[in-house]
Amino acid sequence: MDDMSRRTVLAATAAGSLFAATRASAATGDTIPQPQRPGHGGTDPGPRNLMRDQQNPDLLVPPSTDHGTLPNLRYSFSDSHVRQESGGWTRQVTVRELGVSKGIAGVNMRLNAGGVRELHWHKAAEWAYMLYGSARITAINPDGQSFVDDVGVGDLWYFPSGVPHSIQGLGPDGCEFLLVFDDGEFDEDNTFLLSDWLKHVPEEVLAKNFGVSDTAFNTVPDPSKLYIFAAPVPGALASDKIAGATPVSQSFSHRMTAQEPIKTKSGTVRITDTSNFPASKTIAAALVEVEPGGMRELHWHPNTDEWQYYIEGQGRMGVFAASGQARTFDFMAGDVGYVPFATGHYIENTGKTTLRFLEMFKSSYYADVSLNQWLALTPPELVQAHLKLDPQTLAAFRKSKSPVVPG
């Protein structure tokens, strides 16, 4: 459906006329989704948000296997408030937006070329994935060691809690990235900002601390003018490295997409945790790609909750929470998903292009348990006693041990 046709359908639906909307939709070869399946549900005459219903078919018409009252496990960054500043913008998904996410919060940030995320630190550790462009990141650790690096699409960084750092967009068009914090209560408005601190220290104390005059810091801008602010694009990386400074013993950056992926018939997986990115002590992650028709197999994580970010494509996730509870959610680029600790789930590519998403965990290591592998490594007689399967099906378990399986 093109934009004009979609507007026609939406206008008709907004006017409260299901007949008019149905006719407008039929003229474009599309259909109005209805909350019904044979013998169950019924039509929705409106008012309704048709675009939302089209984006979430498994909420409107859940699979018959869904049951119970699982909480919402999906939130879109598109529904978040955007804070616009002179050097870019930012928005967040925390426990306030996604109530089930108590252990992890996320921030989506854009820095224009030269745009600076002000020198700051915070109580939560910060993990990041570069989505677009390139950036320069800086930090020092408690040993007084210095870190400066340039990062591009597919690169990560990790700053432990309390470590002061900055981010700046490079040319030609700055950058966009995802930040992940190991505290669901994190709020990006509650960080320790350089300008904010200086404005709340008496002038004579600043003078004594730095050995300068009482008026030396009168030119510091009001904190409301910084946070994300415009600045000149920096020069070559070498020019920003402090002469004589000792570099950090563990790099705060990592090239995730440069890792050799685990390859399957229907996709790839790259796993990053302390085994290959030692600095990242509290966040482990996997970058998953699923081709059309494929799926991230039935599995669960035995160590902690899972926080997801969808980068591109279209998919759906089915979640099983024991006691007969199950629910299905649909995802698009920019959406956040959440899976509670030890909860079984799968993620299926429902689109026509590659589905790419991140799995993140508040943990030093990545771990999952595959349903396929569990059954393959359990005595077949025991599996047969439980499931009453034919020998051919039992044999299939031993052939499928990949994290991404064909459709």
**Would 65 be classed as within a structural domain?**
no
**Would 44 be classed as within a structural domain?**
yes
Angle at the Cα of 367 from the Cα atoms of 365 and 371, rounded to 5 degrees: 175
**Would 142 be classed as within a structural domain?**
yes
pLDDT of residue 396: 78
pLDDT of residue 25: 42
Q: Please, what are the averages of pLDDT over each run of 10 residues along the chain (407 residues)?
A: 39 38 41 91 94 94 94 98 97 97 98 98 98 98 97 98 98 98 94 94 95 92 90 95 94 98 94 98 98 96 98 98 96 98 98 98 97 90 91 75 62
**Would 326 be classed as within a structural domain?**
yes
**Would 73 be classed as within a structural domain?**
no
Phi, psi of 403 (to 5 degrees): -70, -25
Pair (163, 289) in one structural domain:
no
The pTM of the full predicted model, rounded to 2 decimals, is 0.90
**Would 66 be classed as within a structural domain?**
no
Pair (284, 396) in one structural domain:
yes
Cβ-contact 85, 151 below 8 angstroms: no
Q: What is the pLDDT of residues 134-191, one digit of tens each?
A: 999 999 999 999 999 999 999 999 999 999 999 999 999 999 999 999 999 999 988 9
pLDDT of residue 390: 85
Pair (240, 114) in one structural domain:
yes
pLDDT of residue 278: 98
Pair (86, 230) in one structural domain:
yes
**End-of-domain residue from the set 200, 222, 254:** 254
Pair (277, 398) in one structural domain:
yes
Q: What is the pLDDT of residues 278-287, one digit of tens each?
A: 999 999 999 9
pLDDT of residue 17: 42
**Would 72 be classed as within a structural domain?**
no
User: For position 284, which CATH number holds?
Assistant: 2.60.120.10
pLDDT of residue 108: 98
**Would 319 be classed as within a structural domain?**
yes
pLDDT of residue 28: 41
Choice among 85, 176, 348, 359 that is catalytic:
359
Pair (247, 269) in one structural domain:
no
Pair (338, 390) in one structural domain:
yes
Which domain range does residue 7 map to?
Answer: 3-55
**End-of-domain residue from the set 216, 235, 254:** 254
Pair (33, 93) in one structural domain:
no
**End-of-domain residue from the set 215, 239, 254:** 254
Pair (172, 242) in one structural domain:
yes
Q: What is the pLDDT of residues 25-48, one digit of tens each?
A: 433 446 789 999 999 999 999 999
Pair (208, 88) in one structural domain:
yes
Pair (137, 279) in one structural domain:
no
State the total domains in the chain. 3
Pair (97, 222) in one structural domain:
yes
312 is annotated as an active-site residue:
no
